[in-house]
Structure 1
Amino acid sequence: MNPMNRLAAVVSLAAVLPFGSQAAESQGAVEVVHYWTSGGEAKSVDVLKKIIEKDGFVWRDGAVAGGGGAAAMTVLKTRAVSGNPPSAAQIKGPDIQEWGRLGLLTSIDEVAKANDWDNLLPRQVSDSMKYDGHYVAVPVNIHRINWLWLNPQVLKKAGVTELPTTLEQLYAAGDKLKAAGFIAIAHGGQAWQDTTIFENLLLSIMGADGFRKSFIDMDPATLTGAQMTAVFSALRRLQAYLDPDGSGQDWNLETAKVINGKAGMQIMGDWAKSEWTAAGKTAGSDYACVPFPGSQGAYSYTVDSLAMFKPSSNNDTPANTAARNDLARVALEPEFQYVFNQNKGSIPVIKGLDMSRFDSCAQASAKDFATAEQAGTLAPSMAFNMSTSQAVQGAVFDVVTQFMNDRNADPSQEGARLLAAIKATQ
C-alpha cells in the first residue's frame, strides 16, 4: 500500500505525529459488532483483528451469534438507542440507508478518496456503501447465494452420476439419495434458511428479471402471478428432500452433515465453503459446487460490509477516529481481501484482483459475477438484506415459514399472501 494511503487513514493527526508513533502511543480503539461466528467466519475476523492490532490499535470484538444476524441487529439497536454505538457494525444493503436516515452513521470519504474506492469497487457495490452521496460503510466481500454444494462420494454411493443443472435433475438426485439412506439435502429449519431455498427457486423459475420485479420493484402482478405459484409448488416438492431432523439447526451444523457423508447436498451461500476449508477439504475433489439448478447465468449476491457509526461523546477522540479509519482502509487492501475471503468462502470485492490464489469454486464465482454484471443479471439478495428493508424481508420470512409448516397450504394462494404481507410493512 502506498504510504500516502496509509497516511490518509489518520489524516486527523497527520500534522501532529507520524503514523507509527501516533498509533502506538494513542492506542485508539475500534469496536465491531458482527455475526461472523462459525469456524471459518471466526478465522476470517481474526485476520482483520490481527492486522488492526499490528497497526497499533485496539480491537474490541462484539461478536453476536444466532439468527442469521438478527441477534446482532437487536444488540446494535439497543446500543444505538442508548447512545453507545460501536465504532462499526456488520450491516447490509438498504439497512445502511435506514441507519443513515437516522443520522447515526459517519462519513469515511477521506479514506475512500485516498484509496480510490469509486474505481476499486463494482458500481452496484459502491452505490450501496453510500448515504446521501457519502461513503458511510466499507464492503469486505461478495457472497454468492445461488449455490448448490455436493459431496461427490455420497452422490456416487447413491448412483447419482451427474451434478444437477435443472430442477428435475435435482429432484431425481434427491430420490436416489433418499433411497440409498442418505439425507438428500442438508437444511436447518430456520426462517432465513427456508427463505434461502425459496429465493433460489424464484431465481431458477422466474430468472433475474422476475427476481428484480418481485423484490426490488415489488410488482403486484409478478408477486401474485402464475410463476410465483410455480415457485411455491417447487418449494413444496423440494421440502420432501430436506433433512427431517433439521428443525432449528444452524446452517454450519447442516454443512457438517454433507462434509461427514451423512447428506449429499446443501443449498446455501458460499460461506458454506468456509466450513469445508476449515475441515481441510479441497474443492473439485472432496466437494463440488454448481449454480443452483436453473439459475445459471444469474448471480444472487450479498455483500458483507461494516458501517461506521458516529461515536458517542466519550469515544469521540482523534485516536479512535484514526482506528476507525484504519479499519476502513485495511478492509479494502489486497492483503486482507485475499486471506479474509479464502477463509470465509466469499470472493474479493476489489475489481480485477488476481484469483489464482483461490480454489475452483471461488474462481467460478468471480467469473460468473463479472459475466452477470455485464449481462445485467445480478440479483441483490432479498433473503440477505441486499434488495429490501428488514421489514419486508421479515414479512417474506413469515410467509415462507408458514407455508413450510402448513402442509395443506395452497401454493396458488401464497402470492396473494406475500403481496399482502409486503404491503403491510409500507
Structure 2
Amino acid sequence: MIARHVAPAVALCALAASSAHAHGGRLQTQHVIVEDGRVTSIATFGLLARDAPDAPFRWTCQESIPDAVAGIATPGVVIGERVLLAGNFGIVRGERRGCAWSRDDATRDRFVPDVVRAPDGAVLAVTGDGGRENHVMRSDDGGLSFAPVGAPLPEGLLADRLRVAGSRIYVVGTTREAGSIALRGAIARSDDAGATWRELDLGALEDDERVVRGLEIEPGDPDVLFVVVQGAEHDRLVRTTDGGETWAEIVTLAALPGPIERPFALAHGLGGDVFFGNTGTGLSVLRASGAIDPVDEGVSVACLARDGASMWMCGDGLLDGFALARFALDAPYAREPALRFDEIERRACESEVDCLCDAWWSDFRIEAELDGGITSCDAGAAPPPRGGGCACSVPASARGSWPLALGGMVNIALLALRRAKRAC
C-alpha cells in the first residue's frame, strides 16, 4: 500500500482571494468534455462551448439552465450538439449553445447524481433518493429517453457516482451501518450490465468522511477502479485491483474546505501514468511503478480529461490565470492556457436566453475581477422575436436579476433538503 499526506501548496492564497459572487459561488470550471475537436465545459457559472480550436468560448449563464444550483457544476455528457446534465430533480437536456432545455420524463423529480457515456455509446444515469427504490437508467437514443435497467440497486445504497466498462457497472456511494446512524462507504457491482447487483464494502469511513465518489476505471481492466473518499479537509484516494473485494490507499491529500461537490480530478495518461489532484494541493502523477511524483503544486486542479496525447485541465481562473489548460503527455510538462475568463464571448442580445445571460454579464465580469466596461441590454427593452439567436423560451418569471437570485437561494435550500433526506 502506498500512502502519504500532502500539504496544500496554495491554501493560504486561495483562502485570501475573494470577490463578489452574485452567482452564489466561486467561478470555477469543473468538467471538460472533448468530442470531435469541440470542447464543452460545465462550470459553476454555466456552460462554455467552443466549436473549433481558433473559435472563442461561448458562455451560457447558469441562470438559464433549469434547476441549476448556484456554485455547483453537475456531471454531464455531450452527444453531438445535445447536453445532458445530472440534477436534483432529474436529467435536463439542452444544446451546447444553451438552448431548448427540457426535462427527462423517466427521471423527473428524482435525484440523479451522475450521468455517463458508456463505451457502446449508450447513456447511463443513476438515481440516488433516500427511502426509494433506485436504479441505473439507460438511454439508447442519445439521451432522449431513459428506462430502468435490470434489478434495483441494493436497498439503502445512496449512489453518488456511476462508472461503466463493458458489462461491468460500478455504483459508488454510502449506506448506513446496521443498527447504527454511522455511514460507511459502499459499492454495488454488476457483471451483467445491471441485470443483477452485488453489494461490496469500501470499509468504514472516518467521522468526517461523508462523501465517496468513483472516479475512473482502468482502461482495459474493469477490475481496477479508483475511488476518492472526502472528509472535511482531506481527500483520500483508494484503489481496488480485484473488482472491489479489497482496497488499498494510494494517497491522502489535504483539501481546502469547500461546498457540496468539492472537485477531485483523476485521468489516465500514457504508459500506465495516472494524473490526479484537487484544488488545494495541485497536480500529481501516480507512476506504473507505484511512485507518486508532484507535477504542478501551484495549480488548483478541478478536472482532468485525456484527449489523445494531451490532457485537459480545469483551473481556477482567478488564482491560476486560466479556466482551462492543456499539457502534452509525451513531452516534459508545460501547461498551455486554452481559456481565460477575459476570452469568454459575450452573448449578443438576439433571443430571450441571450438577453437573460447578457443581464448577468456585468456580474460575471465583476466576479472574474475584470474591467471590461460592459453594459447590458436595455432593461426596458422588449424580448426579441422568436427565431433570433438560439430561439429559446425563458419563462417571464425568470427574467431579471432578483427572481433569479431568489431562485438560486431556493435551489440551494432544496439541495440541502435533498441531501439531508439522503442521509436519513
> 1 or 2 for the larger relative contact order (CA 8 Å, sep ≥6)?
1
Instruction: Give the structure with the higher percent helix.
Output: 1
Structure (1 or 2) with the larger CA radius of gyration? 1
More strand by share: 2
What TM-score, normalized by structure 2, do the two folds share? Answer: 0.23
**TM-score, length-scaled by structure 1:** 0.23
